[in-house]
Amino acid sequence: MNPFFGELIGTALLILLGNGVVANVVLNGTKGNNAGWIVITWGWGMAVFVAVFTVAAFSGAHINPAVTVGLAIAGKFEWANVPAYIVAQFLGAFIGAFLVWLFYRPHYAITEDKDLKLATFCTAPAIRNPVSNLIGEIIGTFVLVFAVLFLAVSVFGLGALDALPVGLLVLAIGLSLGGTTGYAINPARDLGPRIIHAILPMPGGKRDSDWKYAWIPVLGPFIGAVIASLVYLVLQDPSNIHFR
């Protein structure tokens, strides 16, 4: 499989299963309604596991623009391939979000809370404080990318055997650091579905897509990834810090 399509399919699977578990928990009338935060964090962890295991052999399973940039800064991925990977990740996020909308349409129709509908597409803070929210996304993504850099030894990124460790890593981030912002830690994961929410008609109506907040889960992960990669380079060779 072409690496571009690997990233597209992997990110689509990530969003379908990740936002799918959110929809299962928060939308009315589902079998998983009100199952709680633990189910959501486990669902996202397993979504990462499935996505990485499925496409690692084809693209390295970045499935996250912040991971792609972090790997490139650390010299584990060619900068020339970064734009195509990011495009594929956003396209995959669009597809995954559309499939969640299609799958749960009857439940959107009977869910009156429009904030909950938005939550099945993108993140929102528990307490709206831009500085704290940005710091939260930076730290969460730092943990993700820093750990991934020690797993990613191939030319692309992760291998299939890294799927479970990365899934458990995302589970740990969600359980420990996810309660403040919903731990986007992935610009494509948040912005792609947010755009789909803005475009698609919503059974039973919808609210705005919260564009005032949208910059935080995009910028924060990129900053966290850059910091993680620079720290990684310092640890590897303090005398040779440079962008490769």
**Which residue range forms the structural domain that includes residue 170?**
3-236
Closest CA to 123 of 45, 186, 199: 186
Q: Which amino acid is at 71?
A: L
Domain membership flag for residue 181? yes
Domain membership flag for residue 177? yes
Q: What is the CATH number of the domain that holds 152?
A: 1.20.1080.10
| Number of domains present in the structure of the chain | 1
Model confidence, pTM? 0.94
Identify the H or E element spanning 215.
none
Task: Report how far apart, in Å, the C-alpha atoms of 182 and of each of 19, 159, 173, 216 are.
Answer: 12, 27, 10, 12
Q: For residue 142, what pLDDT is reported?
A: 98
Domain membership flag for residue 44? yes
Between 242 and 169, the higher pLDDT residue:
169
Domain membership flag for residue 125? yes
pLDDT per position as a tens digit, 11-61: 999 999 999 999 999 999 999 999 999 999 999 999 999 999 999 999 999
In the predicted structure, residue 243 carries a pLDDT above the cut 50: no
Q: Which amino acid is at 154?
A: S
Q: How does the average pLDDT of the chain come out, rounded?
A: 94
Which segment of 111-115, 125-129, 151-155, 229-233 scores lowest on mean pLDDT?
A: 151-155
The three-state DSSP-derived secondary structure of the chain is: CCHHHHHHHHHHHHHHHHHHHHHHHHCCCCCCCCCCHHHHHHHHHHHHHHHHHHHHHHHCCCCCHHHHHHHHHCCCCCHHHHHHHHHHHHHHHHHHHHHHHHHCHHHHHCCCCHHHHHHCCCCCCCCCCHHHHHHHHHHHHHHHHHHHHHHCCCCCCCCHHHHHHHHHHHHHHHHHHCCCCCCCCCHHHHHHHHHHHHHCCCCCCCCCCCCCCCCHHHHHHHHHHHHHHHHHHHHHCCCCCCCC
Domain membership flag for residue 241? no
Domain membership flag for residue 131? yes
pLDDT per position as a tens digit, 186-212: 999 999 999 999 999 999 999 999 999
Cα separation, 181 vs 94, whole angstroms: 21
Domain membership flag for residue 219? yes
Q: What angle do CA 99, 205, 12 make, to 5 degrees?
A: 15
Domain membership flag for residue 75? yes
